[in-house]
Chain A
Amino acid sequence: QSALTQSASVSGSPGQSITISCTGTSSDVGGYNYVSWYQQHPGKAPKLMIYDVTKRPSGVSNRFSGSKSDNTASLTISGLQAEDEADYYCSSYSSSSTWVFGGGTKVTVL
């Protein structure tokens, strides 16, 4: 149950697009279409932003989109806004009915 690999930080100016990557293995990200992404503001509970690689829950802005290629999943935030500044975590179903999270990426809006 090794953690997925995420870059520690990503930054962008308002209005720009940024992409956060999440790298796993063929036993998790590459093996299943069950990647999800969570946004967490300081002191708050995480919020589901993307599930099943590309799906957005009701109420989540369409500025957030997900994709996957081989063992790497990505979250793209377009039209970056100040309220998007937060920590973002990816998660994937893994073999043996377990789930694994990434280490988190801190998004800074310049």
Chain B
Amino acid sequence: QVQLVESGGGLVKPGGSLRLSCAASGFTFSDYYMSWIRQAPGKGLEWVSYISDSISHTNYADSVKGRFTISRDNAKNFLYLQMNSLRAEDTAVYYCARDQGGGSHANWGQGTLVTVSS
């Protein structure tokens, strides 16, 4: 069955960097678009970024554009999110998700918590 396991979260100071990873299994990873979605403590969901199956297309929410970079390794079945210049407002649980046609997020990982604080 589809399994997505995020890792790499933790406590980081404002202005710092962190790289999140998402290990995918149970499906042909290279056939699917993938997304990162986050949820601040006690708040709603916020779409962060997506990457196409062939890596040719990416896009970002305005709130992270220029600071975050999404990437993937189709040979290793991994999705990544490089987060630079982190701010307090980036504090959230970060989920990776497998996308399907139309951009709905069909499967989600359990999430990894990123806390930005001095």
- Contacting pair A91 B104 (CB below 8 A): yes
Q: Across the interface, which residues of A come within 8 angstroms of B103, CB to CB? A: 34, 36, 93, 99
| B105 and chain A: residue at smallest CB distance | A48
- Residues of B participating in the A interface, judged by any CB pair closer than 8 Å: 35, 37, 44-47, 50, 57, 59, 61-63, 95, 100-111
- Contacting pair A51 B102 (CB below 8 A): yes
Min distance, Cβ A64 to any Cβ of chain B, angstroms: 14
- Contacting pair A36 B104 (CB below 8 A): yes
Q: Across the interface, which residues of A come within 8 angstroms of B101, CB to CB? A: 52
- Contacting pair B105 A100 (CB below 8 A): no
Q: Across the interface, which residues of B come within 8 angstroms of A51, CB to CB? A: 100, 102, 104, 106
Bitwise, A1-30 to B at CB < 8 A (1) or not (0) is 101000000000000000000000000000
| A51 and chain B: residue at smallest CB distance | B104
Complex Cα gap A34–B103 (Å): 7
Chain A residues touching B, range: 20 to 34
A69 interfacial by beta-carbon distance below 8 Å: no
Candidates A47, A97, A101; contact of B44 at CB < 8 Å: A101
- Contacting pair A99 B95 (CB below 8 A): no
Complex Cα gap A98–B63 (Å): 12
Q: Across the interface, which residues of B come within 8 angstroms of A96, CB to CB? A: 59
Min distance, Cβ A102 to any Cβ of chain B, angstroms: 7
| A49 and chain B: residue at smallest CB distance | B104
Give 9 closest A-B pairs by Cβ, nearest first. Answer: A51-B104, A36-B104, A45-B108, A99-B47, A34-B102, A104-B44, A101-B45, A97-B59, A103-B44
